[in-house]
Structure 1
């Protein structure tokens, strides 16, 4: 409030009027209004920097507190382990960057400030949306669930692998491929025997990884293929090469023996796996108690074995043989007593026809490896050199 006072003498003695400013209720109200208008025009002055820093610190602590349960659950494997930890860490870091950007834009108009911060926060999601849309337009099958194999009942005869299956057979179709081509039969089974060259089968299957002439067949009954009596096992197929599909001549690739086959001094029990050699110049045989065999021991060179394998040429002449001696404890071979654990190993020596028994000695000298050669003629037992197993090559760097 302005107050005029007269009769005031100046420095030169001239009368003058003095104006005093008196604080009144009206003046204080004006100051408050002006202060309020200043705060509205510049929001940065409304919140002091210290208060904003305290607010940002509280926000960061709240984010960390909220993320801690997620991290603990991720470490426990509930949310994906390490992958979920990385996702939570990246998300928390991006939120902190957004808060930092929001702080740096404090002198910008509020609308621009919030819009820029929101776009920055949503940038990863926008990038993922654009990438997903582009991928769906260019490679739609990459994210489209593929169909599964379907089984149908054939209404007409179906040809597969050189065998014609009658109507009523169960046909399994493979899923549609990546090029969208129509599915082809991948397996067929029938209640009636079907001729495949000289064989009689009830089912056939082709694997994607096999050659066009290689099939798994379910034999209708026990049959001889390339001189081997193959079993008609329901759960285990017989692998064959049909040659020309228009004139199939099945050749054995692998099957299981239907009965005991004795070759020389080795008796191969049922369920022995017979496999044609990779060069098609011989055969490999394998038997152990886990090959669906109903016998626990087999005979090889007068030894009781619980596992053995061998290689034969095309004429079924023995090329190599090895096995594991079937024992329940210590066993004596000649003058040497072998420990039963681990079981002694047997190996046929092609040069002299002996069988070498190798294993650890029983008793105090269990760390010593012994070898005894067993021959069919006298002297029947004689010591031999312990076979040296090939050393493993160090992994190349």
Structure 2
């Protein structure tokens, strides 16, 4: 008999035939009786861990949920899920400051992983997280639903802060709950440098005309003290 593993099937080859046994790529999460290590983080016994099979005999953990908050470097976390692109989805135990941004525990924070040189420990870098509501950072107090994410523009690393806000429907266009550079806005998308200094942004707001009609406008910050307003629509 010859055995071979192909993707999610285990193949048994006998002299008198070939048989295929379907094998799941992932085992369902189950509580472990011993500690396991995932991306350098030790999850204690009692954690719910999901494993991915590498063969019929070997498997490795890909996600884990701890029974209580644990340490992951300087972070306090509850869960860790390794995505297919090697991004880490991390359930924070509490709101906490990460690379100068106060990230909420209401949604997972995402990290890219840098492998250490010569087999050294890996490093986590914040990719994106939801900012905690109402805390002033980078010059503004951010409403619920604001997301910060790391990006590269023209080979320069930057931060993008996005708040889709109240721009979804005409009924909320004039609900301006964020103030940036003295403008009251109903949505905001801004670019910040590595030191969290605001460079450019665009957002939406309302402008009241002399006849009492509101115009829905787009406002763009093009540079220091340079702003541009463009009418998008009249607000009924």
TM-score under structure 1 length normalisation: 0.45
* CA distance in structure 2 between the partners assigned to 1:347 and 1:338 by the alignment: 22
Q: Does 1:320 align with 2:210?
A: no
* CA distance in structure 2 between the partners assigned to 1:282 and 1:223 by the alignment: 21
Q: Identify the residue that residue 268 of structure 1 maps to in structure 2.
A: 142
Q: Does 1:354 align with 2:226?
A: yes
Match of 1:222 among 95, 103, 107: 95
Q: Identify the residue that residue 111 of structure 2 maps to in structure 1.
A: 240
Cα deviation digits, residues 291-324 of structure 1 (max 9, x gap): xxxx972112332222111111112222210001
CA 1:338 to 1:183, structure 2 compared with 1: closer, same or farther past 3 Å? farther
Residues 159 and 192, structure 2, Cα contact 8 Å, conserved in 1: yes
Residues 338 and 359, structure 1, Cα contact 8 Å, conserved in 2: no
Match of 2:61 among 185, 189, 208: 185
CA shift at 1:187, angstroms?
Answer: 0.8
* CA distance in structure 2 between the partners assigned to 1:361 and 1:237 by the alignment: 36
Match of 1:208 among 84, 88, 92: 84
Q: What is the aligned residue count?
A: 205
* CA distance in structure 2 between the partners assigned to 1:324 and 1:297 by the alignment: 11
For residues 367-386 of structure 1, what are the structure 2 equivalents within 5 Å? none
Give the SS at the match of 1:321.
strand
Q: Identify the residue that residue 38 of structure 2 maps to in structure 1.
A: 160
Q: Identify the residue that residue 10 of structure 2 maps to in structure 1.
A: none
Q: Does 1:196 align with 2:196?
A: no
CA shift at 1:269, angstroms?
Answer: 2.9
TM-score under structure 2 length normalisation: 0.73
Residues 218 and 232, structure 1, Cα contact 8 Å, conserved in 2: yes
Cα deviation digits, residues 114-146 of structure 1 (max 9, x gap): xxxxxxxxxxxxxxxxxxxxxxx88957xx574
Where does structure 2 lack aligned partners over 5 or more consecutive residues?
A: 1-16, 167-174
CA shift at 1:345, angstroms?
Answer: 0.6
Q: Identify the residue that residue 98 of structure 1 maps to in structure 2.
A: none
More helix by share: 1
Moved more, 304-313 or 272-281: 272-281
Q: Identify the residue that residue 14 of structure 2 maps to in structure 1.
A: none
Residues 113 and 122, structure 2, Cα contact 8 Å, conserved in 1: yes
Q: Does 1:311 align with 2:183?
A: no
Residues 155 and 167, structure 1, Cα contact 8 Å, conserved in 2: yes
More strand by share: 2
CA shift at 1:161, angstroms?
Answer: 0.9
Residues 101 and 137, structure 2, Cα contact 8 Å, conserved in 1: no
Which one has the largest radius of gyration?
A: 1
CA shift at 1:270, angstroms?
Answer: 4.3
